[in-house]
Amino acid sequence: MTAPEYLLEAIDIVKVFGTLRANDGVTLRVAPGEIHAFLGENGAGKSTLVKMIYGSLHPTSGTIKWMGKEVVIPNPNAARKLGIGMVFQHFSLFDALTVAENISLAMPGKFDLAALSKKVAQVSVEYGLPLNPTATVADLSVGERQRIEIVRCLLQEPKLLILDEPTAVLTPQEADQLFVTLRRLASEGCSVLYISHRLEEVKRLCHSATILRHGKVVASCDPRKETAASLARLMVGGDVHAIRAAKAPVGNAVRFSLKDVNLDADGPFSVELKNINLDVRGGEVIAIAGVAGNGQSELFDAISGERPLLRGDAILIDGATCGAIGVTERRRMGAAFVPEERLGHGAVPAFALTENVVLTRHSDDASLATRGLLNRGKAGEIADRVIKTYDVRKGKADPEARSLSGGNLQKFVMGRELDRKPKVLVVNQPTWGVDAGAAATIRQALIDLARSGSAVVVISQDLDEIFELADKIAVISRGQLSQAHPAHEMTAEKIGLLMAGAHEKEASRATHS
Amino acid sequence: MQLILEKRGDRSEFFALASPFLALFLTLIVGGLIFASRGISPLEGLYVYFVEPLTQIWSLEQLVVKATPLILIGVGLAVCYMANVWNIGAEGQLTIGAIVGSMAPVLFPTWQDPSVLVVMLIMGTVGGALYGLIPGLLKTRFNANEILTSLMLVYVAQFILDWLVRGPWRDPKGFNFPVTQTFEGWQLLPTFGGTIHLGALFAVLACVALAFLMAKTLKGFEIKVTGNAPRAGRFAGFSRDRMVLFCFLLSGGLAGLAGICEVASVVGKLQPQISPGYGFAAIIVAFLGRLNPVGVLFAGLLLALSYIGGEAAQVSLGISDKIAKVVQGILLFFILSCDTLILYRIKIQFKGVGTLKAVG
């Protein structure tokens, strides 16, 4: 018997959730020893298919073949027994345990921590994944945590390793290191299924690609022979509008400043903010880059006033102090904020859009709540205006926030704040999980707001977005913010070094000398 | 074998509204079974319990009298629970309200003009509100679980009442019975002819006022946001701590008002037992009324029926008056189960069989 041509074949897979056909006849074939890219926008159905291969979901119809034989994968345990390992986007690690303890939880058989530690050390050296088995997970960076997940899979000697958007949480340098490991694995015959929507890295890394759109396969190709633009067209199903940006005006007054902002950690796993300084002039967009979990949400909370600071003069809006007052007062001073999490933070999931208008607008628009009485008609007017201006697509007249798609809700949440024409706008991850079309609309709106004279701060993990938007770029790492450099002087490599903490050393050298 | 609660995709609007009726229906069935187990014909039992009280004027009046404290307390609790603040100690706030409100007639027995009634009502409300503030402050200051603290404070309040009526406040002419002197004249709430007293009006007003608060005001919006999505509430600039205190003051105040209304009407004095557990039954009222002030109005009447039915069953059928508590318990059980099953479905997973099922 000859070896089967494909390691894994998923043939004509259909998965239906309620009325949604998340996968509609998807076929995916992965050959032994290849790095196969699985491309698609958010919501295209990538994760759904992968979860069926890993056994945590079950197909409505279709067949899965493993090494040429039809198999049923009832649960992840069965998948692991076949030789399928998976590294999720969200890690399943216990922060309070050590690396070795975390790995031992997933290992079948006898519990022998000493032997396991030795094995972990061995595998991590072999594959260039430096890890200290006795380190506590809480102290590790996101990149190191990902290594634990990968090592955990490798210990089970998989034939297929699935990675779900692994580089979303890595610095460019860490990503390069990961690629070396993956190429090494592939050369030893282990197949890799690589889920991503980052086209450049797919072009660099992968041997073949399957592209998914709206639950259907639209193309299979060799990414090395395509251009990023041609891949994007396949993924999005049309050209993505380029953003038009006039040059930022020079010499405008500073509208928003952070002066030595310090904030203690909120709990054992939150990040402490240390001496953060930033000046944003009217007319410019400053982007704050950084790997997830380096103090972005803490910084957002401090800026928005959800966690007021002790010193009022730590934050200035148009020269007026506002560090010690709450979010409502800061909005009254002309600031607006859009948090990272749309559902449950930026909007109440179970509330209609009209009510969600009141959520942030009650503070500055007195006509929305005159003497404590709500004016629903007025709120409805604002909602309609936002929906029209920012092309929010919805099913019915005044839907609940949770019934909107991620992109449309984000357009609404952004539009709600832009509609006020704020003097200062601070946005955390403006296009996280948003489709390319909506992302372009949002980015254009941010630039337009800045050019009209406002100060705009964008906190983002997406380097492409940052280069598209920003006039200046600062980088946050472990709660410290680098200087803001003009965007044209920055490269992905420079940002990567800052993400890894280069400016922390600068700062400490400055204090020692 | 494993029982798993699995979230349903969509919430059925119809069943969300039908849930209390379904719960009531199931309660009637189980109630019938209980009667049958005592050797009483289920139909006769249910008739005596749930229907007969509605056929006579005096028992209808009783219904309103019993519903009054249930609605007053229940509507305050509904607002609390809407904001995700869990005040379980309304019975204690009722007791303290009754005690503080009774200071005027007990300490100044000869005070006899309309002002004494006004003072009693105000002091009762304030007393209940301040007693409610204790678990509120413990929550905001020390993050102590308000379910536990408010519940434990019920027993503290009851012992304070017990000590007062057996000790310093005991009626010297009361033949050593543990009661204060009987209230009279302006120390009692005026009635609408029969036994229905002014408290019933307060209950209706409270429902109307809180319905308006929830539907039309920014404060009502704040309550719903805080309960629904606390993080979004903080983003909106609403303080969680202030909301906890507001809810305890409001529900405690209404429970205190209910307490003073009870002793200034039905009971007519302080004694060790002034409420048949209205503060606890009001929790059921709040949920049965869908945490909606207007719904609470109807739910209060229904729960009042369970008390009167219990008394009727004791008299005509000769079964224990504990039957009222049993019926109330069953009702709450079914409301909560119906609500849960609207949002979740039960999945039974057998080892081995589950994998077969997953294939098909």
Lowest mean pLDDT among A169-178, A319-328, A447-456, B29-38: A169-178
B10 touches chain A (CB under 8 A): yes
Sheet containing strand A35-40, strands side by side:
A84-87, A160-164, A191-196, A35-40, A208-213, A216-221
Mean predicted lDDT score pLDDT of chain A = 86
Q: Give the integer Cα–Cα distance in Å for B29 and B35.
A: 10
Distance from CA of A413 to the nearest CA of B (A): 12
| DSSP code, position A343 | B
| Residue given tokens 């709600």 in the structure block | A416
Q: Give the integer Cα–Cα distance in Å for B85 and B104.
A: 32
| Residue given tokens 């303890």 in the structure block | A101
Kindly determine whether residue B231 and residue A341, on different chains, have CB atoms separated by under 8 Å.
yes
pLDDT tens track for A182-210: 999 999 899 999 988 777 888 889 999 99
Kindly determine whether residue B229 and residue A362, on different chains, have CB atoms separated by under 8 Å.
no
Distance from CA of B289 to the nearest CA of A (A): 20
pLDDT tens track for B261-310: 999 999 999 999 999 999 999 999 999 898 999 999 999 998 999 889 88
Kindly determine whether residue B217 and residue A372, on different chains, have CB atoms separated by under 8 Å.
yes
B12 touches chain A (CB under 8 A): no
Q: Are strands A191-196 and A35-40 parallel, antiparallel or unpaired?
A: parallel
| Residue given tokens 């196969």 in the structure block | A36
Contacts of A360 in chain B (CB under 8 A): 235-236
Q: Are strands A315-317 and A254-263 parallel, antiparallel or unpaired?
A: antiparallel
Kindly determine whether residue B235 and residue A74, on different chains, have CB atoms separated by under 8 Å.
no
Contacts of B355 in chain A (CB under 8 A): 72, 74-75
Position A26 scores a pLDDT of: 92
**Which residue intervals of A238-368 are DSSP H helices?**
296-304, 327-332, 353-361
Q: Which tokens belong to A60?
A: 């409505």
| Chain B nearest-CA residue for A359 | B236
Residues in a beta bridge with A335: A424
pLDDT tens track for B156-206: 999 999 999 999 999 888 888 999 999 999 999 999 878 899 999 999 999
Contacts of A75 in chain B (CB under 8 A): 355
- Residue type present at position A22: A
ipTM of the complex: 0.81
Q: Give the integer Cα–Cα distance in Å for A366 and A385.
A: 18
| Chain B nearest-CA residue for A57 | B358
pLDDT tens track for A211-267: 988 888 988 999 888 887 788 788 777 666 666 667 777 778 899 999 999 999 877
| Chain A nearest-CA residue for B227 | A348
Kindly determine whether residue B218 and residue A359, on different chains, have CB atoms separated by under 8 Å.
no
pLDDT tens track for A268-311: 668 899 999 999 999 999 999 988 778 898 999 999 999 999 99
Kindly determine whether residue A344 and residue B229, on different chains, have CB atoms separated by under 8 Å.
yes
pLDDT tens track for A26-43: 999 999 999 999 988 766
B219 touches chain A (CB under 8 A): yes
Distance from CA of B238 to the nearest CA of A (A): 8
Position A504 scores a pLDDT of: 67
Position B295 scores a pLDDT of: 93
Lowest mean pLDDT among A75-79, B225-229, B245-249: A75-79
Highest mean pLDDT among A222-236, A291-305, B12-26, B236-250: B236-250
Contacts of B241 in chain A (CB under 8 A): none
Position A2 scores a pLDDT of: 57
Kindly determine whether residue B235 and residue A306, on different chains, have CB atoms separated by under 8 Å.
yes
Closest partner CB to A344 (pick from B232, B354, B358): B232
Lowest mean pLDDT among A2-16, B56-70, B206-220: A2-16
Position A200 scores a pLDDT of: 80
Q: Are strands A369-370 and A216-221 parallel, antiparallel or unpaired?
A: unpaired
Sheet containing strand A8-17, strands side by side:
A20-30, A8-17, A61-66, A69-71
Distance from CA of A362 to the nearest CA of B (A): 8
pLDDT tens track for A453-500: 999 999 998 888 898 899 999 999 889 999 999 998 988 888 888 887
Contacts of B220 in chain A (CB under 8 A): 374
Closest partner CB to B231 (pick from A305, A345, A358): A345
Contacts of B354 in chain A (CB under 8 A): 74
Kindly determine whether residue B218 and residue A326, on different chains, have CB atoms separated by under 8 Å.
no
Kindly determine whether residue A326 and residue B217, on different chains, have CB atoms separated by under 8 Å.
no
Assess contact for B206 and B71: CB atoms under 8 A: yes
Q: How confident is residue B360, by pLDDT bands cut at 50, 70 and 90?
A: very low
pLDDT tens track for A151-177: 888 888 899 999 988 887 777 888 888
pLDDT tens track for A98-131: 998 888 887 777 778 888 888 888 888 888 888 8
Task: Give which of A118, A187, A175 is closest to A151, Cα–Cα.
Answer: A118
Chain B contact probe: residue of A354, A359, A402 with most B CBs at under 10 A: A359
Q: At how many degrees (to 10) do helices B146-166 and B90-107 cross?
A: 30
DSSP-based three-state secondary structure for A69? strand
Kindly determine whether residue B225 and residue A348, on different chains, have CB atoms separated by under 8 Å.
yes
DSSP-based three-state secondary structure for A111? coil
Position B299 scores a pLDDT of: 92
B3 touches chain A (CB under 8 A): no
Distance from CA of A85 to the nearest CA of B (A): 20
Kindly determine whether residue B236 and residue A362, on different chains, have CB atoms separated by under 8 Å.
yes
B232 touches chain A (CB under 8 A): yes
| DSSP code, position B317 | I
- Residue type present at position B188: L
Q: Give the integer Cα–Cα distance in Å for B324 and B310.
A: 5
Residue predicted with more confidence, B238 or A228: B238
Position B158 scores a pLDDT of: 97
B318 touches chain A (CB under 8 A): no
Lowest mean pLDDT among A1-5, A182-186, B207-211: A1-5
Kindly determine whether residue A327 and residue B237, on different chains, have CB atoms separated by under 8 Å.
yes
Cβ-based neighbour number of residue A193 at 10 Å: 27
Assess contact for A132 and A99: CB atoms under 8 A: yes
Cβ-based neighbour number of residue B163 at 10 Å: 13
Contacts of A347 in chain B (CB under 8 A): 232
Share of chain A above pLDDT 70, in %: 95
Chain A contact probe: residue of B84, B221, B246, B351 with most A CBs at under 10 A: B221
Position A423 scores a pLDDT of: 95
Task: Give which of B246, B242, B267, B240 is closest to B97, Cα–Cα.
Answer: B267
pLDDT surpasses 50 at B359:
no
Strands (E), A175-301: 191-196, 208-213, 216-221, 254-263, 273-281, 285-289
Distance from CA of B80 to the nearest CA of A (A): 19
Q: Spell out a b/e string for A116-142, using b for 16 or more CB atoms within 10 Å of the CB, else e.
A: bbebbbebbeebebebbbeeebeebbb
Q: How confident is residue B5, by pLDDT bands cut at 50, 70 and 90?
A: confident
- CB contacts under 8 A, B 96-115 vs A, are none
Q: What are the phi and psi torsion angles at A192 (to 5°)?
A: -125, 130
Q: Give the integer Cα–Cα distance in Å for B138 and B144.
A: 6
Position A228 scores a pLDDT of: 77
pLDDT tens track for A345-402: 999 999 999 999 999 999 877 788 888 888 889 999 999 999 999 888 877 788 888 8
Residues in a beta bridge with A208: A36
Q: How confident is residue B352, by pLDDT bands cut at 50, 70 and 90?
A: very low
| Chain B nearest-CA residue for A326 | B237
B235 touches chain A (CB under 8 A): yes
